[in-house]
Amino acid sequence: MGVNGYRDYFQVLGVDRSADADAIKRAFRKLARQYHPDVNPNNKDAEAKFKEVSEAYEVLSDPQKRRRYEQFGQYWSQAGGSGAGPGFDVDFGRYGNFDDFINDLLGRFGGGGGPGFSAGPGGFGFGSGFPGGFGSGFPGAGAQAPRGAAANLDAEATISLSFADAFRGCERTLAVNEERVQVRIPAGVKNGSRLRLKEKGNLQPGTGRRGDLYLNLQLQDHPVWKLDGDQLRAELPLSIDELALGGEVQVATPDGVAAVQVPPGMSLGRSLRLKGKGWPIKGGRGDLLLTPVLKLPDQLSPQERQLLEQLRAARTQDPRADWLNAAKL
């Protein structure tokens, strides 16, 4: 500590004055793990050092506090707001483990950053370290923003949905602080959709103000269905005779099996369109597009091989003639 209680926070964290937010966060994590009381039981020096690096991170991770600190030096906390100051304190007993503490601290000071929601039996719980002030576990949303600060009290997190849940819609139970919140996810949400939960974000003490919680939705890949705008796409396996001769075939749709007519000489570059059988949209459903792909048997029977040999002998056109001519340079 310097004179009059002044600390060089950059020196405390061992970073240059030009260090960006990521460098400051990395330095803090490293030092916090090194000096955490759980790692250094009954070591008062380590505990004091831990509080010092936490105080330094609180100031340097906040853009407004950092600007005041860089401009006014030791008088920064008097120049437009209260800072951490020498009285910074931490109640270690409220944390179950070190990662809980680190993620909560990063959330309180605006560091944020871990995964969004993680699936679990009976609903979803918060993962660690949400942007906008989330901590880990249940103390996530509802974390307190600095008193009197013009803080953004909104928070956000990510929910991963199966393709089926996104198609049909579903409900999720979220653990927000110590409150259980039911969220209805409508049918037809798409990857990157955003839901807003009013007044479920961070709380500003002394004012009663509370921000909103924004849920970013991510759709898991499906082995068959692919979403393309409002249309649903899939490959349709066809045999060589079905492609050549056409006919009625059974196909899969999200609503079950349906019969469609394949035209003779079906090209692999075309698609069959089933209107109103695709992705849910406002006022109805999009279309389902089935793109034929040739599916050959893993092993030919003697009869199949004989017939294909006859077909080859009887073929009158070279399938690559136009392609060979067009490829000439």
pLDDT of residue 79: 52
Confidence of residue 142 (pLDDT cuts 50, 70, 90): very low
What percent of the chain is modeled with pLDDT above 70? Answer: 73
Confidence of residue 280 (pLDDT cuts 50, 70, 90): very high
Which conformational region is residue 262 in: left (phi greater than 0), alpha (psi within -120 to 50 degrees), or beta?
beta
Q: Which alpha helices (DSSP H) does the chain contain, by range?
A: 9-13, 21-35, 44-60, 63-72, 98-108, 163-168, 240-245, 302-314, 321-326
Residue pair 194/215 in contact by the 8 Å Cβ criterion = yes
pLDDT digits (tens, 9 = 90+) for 48-70: 898 898 888 988 988 888 887 77
Q: Where do the domains of the chain lie? A: 1-90, 110-221, 226-326
Does the pLDDT value for residue 88 go beyond 60?
no
Mean pLDDT of 131-156: 49
Q: Which superfamily is assigned to 110-221 in CATH?
A: Urease metallochaperone UreE, N-terminal domain (2.60.260.20)
Tell me whether strands 155-161 and 123-126 are parallel, antiparallel or unpaired: unpaired
Q: What is the pLDDT of residue 32?
A: 87
Separation between Cα atoms, residue 285 and residue 232, nearest integer Å: 10
Report the distance separating Cα 278 and Cα 271, nearest Å.
14
For the chain, percent of residues with pLDDT exceeding 90: 36
pLDDT tens per residue across span 155-198: 888 889 999 999 999 998 887 766 788 889 999 999 999 999 88
Mean pLDDT of all residues in 266-276: 90
Task: Kindly tell me if the per-residue pLDDT of 41 is higher than 50.
Answer: yes
CA-closest candidate to residue 167, choices 144, 191, 201, 183: 191
pLDDT at 289 (0 to 100): 96
Q: Which two tokens stand for residue 177?
A: 């602080």
CATH topology of domain 226-326: HSP40/DNAj peptide-binding domain (2.60.260)
Q: What per-residue confidence (pLDDT) applies to 82?
A: 43
Most confident range, picked from 74-78, 117-121, 128-132, 323-327? 323-327
More confident residue, 7 or 252: 252
Higher per-residue confidence, 142 vs 108 = 108
* Mean pLDDT, the chain, whole residue set: 77
Distance of alpha carbon 104 from alpha carbon 111, whole angstroms: 9
Residues linked to residue 83 through DSSP beta bridges, in sequence order: none
Mean pLDDT, rounded, for 68-83: 60
CA pair distance 117, 165, nearest whole angstrom: 16
Report the candidate in 63, 52, 136, 125 with the shortest Cα–Cα distance to residue 98. Answer: 136
Q: Give Cα separations from 277 to 247, 280, 285 (angstroms).
A: 21, 9, 6
144 has a pLDDT exceeding 60: no
Question: Across residues 1-9, what is the average pLDDT?
Answer: 60
Instruction: Tell me how far apart the alpha carbons of residues 132 and 202 are, in angstroms, rounded to a whole number.
Output: 8
pLDDT at 140: 40
With a threshold of 0.75, does the pTM exceed it?
A: no
Q: Look at residues 81, 95, 86, 126 and name the one whose alpha carbon lies nearest to residue 32.
A: 95
pLDDT exceeds 60 at position 302: yes
3-state secondary structure 68-83: HHHHHHHHHHHCCCCC
Which CA distances in Å does 225 have to 168, 236, 274, 288?
Answer: 14, 11, 14, 10
The pLDDT of residue 174: 81
Q: Convert the pLDDT of each residue in 89-132 to its tens digit.
A: 445 455 444 555 555 555 554 444 333 333 333 333 333 333 33
Q: Do domains 110-221 and 226-326 have the same CATH topology?
A: yes
pLDDT computed for residue 130 by the predictor? 34
pLDDT of residue 164: 93
Residue 207's pLDDT is 75
Quick: pLDDT tens for 200-252: 887 777 777 888 889 999 999 999 999 998 899 999 999 999 999 999 999 99
Average pLDDT over residues 13-25: 90
Spelled out in words, what is the top-level CATH class assigned to the domain 1-90? mainly alpha
